[in-house]
Structure 1
C-alpha cells in the first residue's frame, strides 16, 4: 500500500516571552542574502520500544512537551518567530512558527527505515510555501505511526541559518526539554565582517527533479580512511576517474559550504546565528577529460582563504548567476559532527536522523552514522551518472549501498 500522511492538527507557537523592541530588526548579513529560498528539513525518527502503552496518550504527552519547550526556545532564538522582509532583514515581531501533527497510515515506521529513500522522506512533511515573505521561518511537524513510532521533522528557512546554526537551535531545544540551558545563541555579530548588500535578490533553488535520479544512500566505514598509505595520491586520483560517456560535457563546478566562524577576524562565537558560511569552488573546464581527485582538493584548499573575503564571494556568486546553465554545479555539504544523533527531547535519542535536503540538488550530502563509526552519504545525480557511480568497483569495496537505517 502507499503511505498516507494526514494533517490532524495545525497550531501556531509563539515565544514564551515577548521580544524587546530594541531587538525587533534582525539584519541579514550578505551570506544570508545569497542563501537560497528553501527550508532545511531534518527528520528525527523514534521507534516505539514497547507495545504496553497507550500510543495516543503517549503521542499527546510528547507533543505537548514539544510545544511548551519550543515556545521557551523561541524566546532565545527570537528571529525564528518573525518574518522575512525584502531579503534585507527579519522583522522579529513574534508572529509565530507553525506546529503540525499528522497521522501516518498504510505504512510502518520500520518500512521507511529498512531502506530509507528521499522521496518517502519528503512525504513526511508539507511542501515549502511559495510566499517566503509572509510565512513562518520555522515549521515543526510530528508524524505518528500506528505502531507508536514517531517522526519529528524540523524545517528551518535557509535565509536565516545554515547547518551550524540549525544544529545550535535544535540542541538548545533539546537542552530546554531536559531542563538545561547551556546553548546561548549570538545574533548580529557577523554584520561587521559580512555586511548587508543593498539590491541583492534572493536565490531561488535551481532544482529540476525531472532529469535527476533518486537519492541513494551509501555508508562507508573507517577502512576508507586507511586504505591508501600516505603519499599514494595517484591511487586516490584513479578512484575519482571513470569513463565519461554519459556525462554532459562542458564546465563542471564543485561547490562546498564551509563554516567560517573561526576563520574571520576577529573570530565569531561558536553559536553565532546566521549563514556564516564560505563557499569553496573547484572548476573543471572540460568534463570529457579525466580529472584526478588531488587536483580538485588543491583547488578547494586554495579557496579557503578566499571564502572569508566577502567581496570575492559576492562577485563570484554574481558571475555564476550570469553563466547560468553553462555551468553544471555539484554541491557538497557536510552535516558531520553536529551531534544530531545525540539530541534527546525528553524520551530518548532518535533511532535514526537524516537531513532530507540531500535529496534535492545535484551533489553530495554527508552525515555521521548513528554509531559514529562511519559516514552516511546521500548522492543525487543524473541517471546516467548515477549508473556509473553505483557500478564503480572501488566504491563498492568500501561502501554499502542503500543499507538499513535500523542496523547502524
Structure 2
C-alpha cells in the first residue's frame, strides 16, 4: 500500500476508504479528524486475560483533513496505522495498567466535546475479531448487528459471515451526505477492482 505501511490490516484499509468517502462529501473543515475506537486488551503488557469482562476500548484520532494530500488512500492508511501505534505507547508504555484504564473515560469525554465542536467528523469502531456470540440452541448466528442507537456519523465494522471479509454499518447524519458517500464509495470500489 505504501512504504510506511507495506501490509496494512483489513480494518486499516477499510477505515481509510470510509474516511476518503466521507471527505468526498465536502462537509468537512480542514481541521476535522477521524476518531477510531480501538480494543486495547491485547495492547497492555501483559495483555488482559481472555476471561476478563467489560470494555477495554480507547480513542485515537488521525491526522487532520488539511494534512492529507497526494495518494489519499495510502496517506490515510499511514495516518490510521500511526495513530494506533501511538495509542499503544500511550496506554501501555507510559502508564501502569490501572492508570491507563482510569484515563479511558476522560478520553471519551474529550472525544464527545470534539464532536460537539465539529472537530471529529466520524467515529470508526471495529468489532472484528471479537469472539463473543451467544448460542441460544439454534446454532451459530447467521448475522450479528451493532446497536442501532449508536448515534449519527458512526461506522461499525464486524466480521462477515465467512470471517474473511468485513460487514460495514454506516450511520450518517443526513440523506444528502449518504447519497454522496455511496456514490464515492462505488467509484472507489470500481477503481480498486480495475487495478486488480
Name the TM-score class by shorter chain: 0.5 to 0.7
Partner of 2:83: 299
Q: Out of 232, 254, 258, which is 2:34 matched to? A: 254
TM-score by length of 2: 0.63
Q: Deviations over 1:367-405 (max 9, x none)?
A: 111122321111122434322321121225669xxxxxx
- The number of equivalent residue pairs is 167
Q: Is 1:370 matched up with 2:150?
A: no
Cα deviation 1:53-99 (Å, max 9, x = unaligned): xxxxxxxxxxxxxxxxxxxxxxxxxxxxxxxxxxxxxxxxxxxxxxx
The structure whose residues are more often strand, as a share, is 1
Write the distance in 1 (CA, Å) between the matches of 2:150 and 2:113.
26
Structure 2 residue matching 1:330: 3-state secondary structure: strand
Contact 1:282–1:296 (CA<8 Å) still a contact in 2?
A: yes
2:188 equivalent in structure 1: 394
Q: Do 2:59 and 2:108's aligned partners in 1 also have CA atoms closer than 8 Å?
A: no
Distance 1:339 1:386, change over 3 A: same
> Which structure has the highest helix share of the two?
2
Deviation at 1:272, TM superposition (A): 1.1
User: 1:279 pairs with 39, 59, 65, which one?
Assistant: 59
Instruction: Give the Cα separation in 2 of the matches to 1:384 and 1:250.
Output: 20
Q: 2:126 aligns with which of 334, 337, 349?
A: 334
TM-score (norm 1): 0.34
Query: Which residue number in structure 1 is paired with residue 48 of structure 2?
Result: 268
Q: 1:275 to 1:397 in 2, by over 3 A?
A: same
Note the C-alpha offset of 1:261.
2.2
Q: Check conservation: 1:247, 1:384, Cα contact below 8 A.
A: no
Preserved CA contact (<8 Å) 1:359 1:378: no
How far, CA to CA, are the matches of 2:45 and 2:3 in structure 1? 34
Kept in 2: contact 1:362–1:381 (CA 8 A) = yes
Structure 2 unpaired stretches of 5+: 6-12
Q: Deviations over 1:164-192 (max 9, x none)?
A: xxxxxxxxxxxxxxxxxxxxxxxxxxxxx
Unaligned runs of 5+ in 1: 1-227, 400-408
The root-mean-square deviation of aligned C-alpha atoms, in Å, is 3.7
Structure 1 residues 353 and 244, CA gap change in structure 2 (3 angstroms):
closer
Mapped contact 1:253–1:329 kept (Cα < 8 A): yes
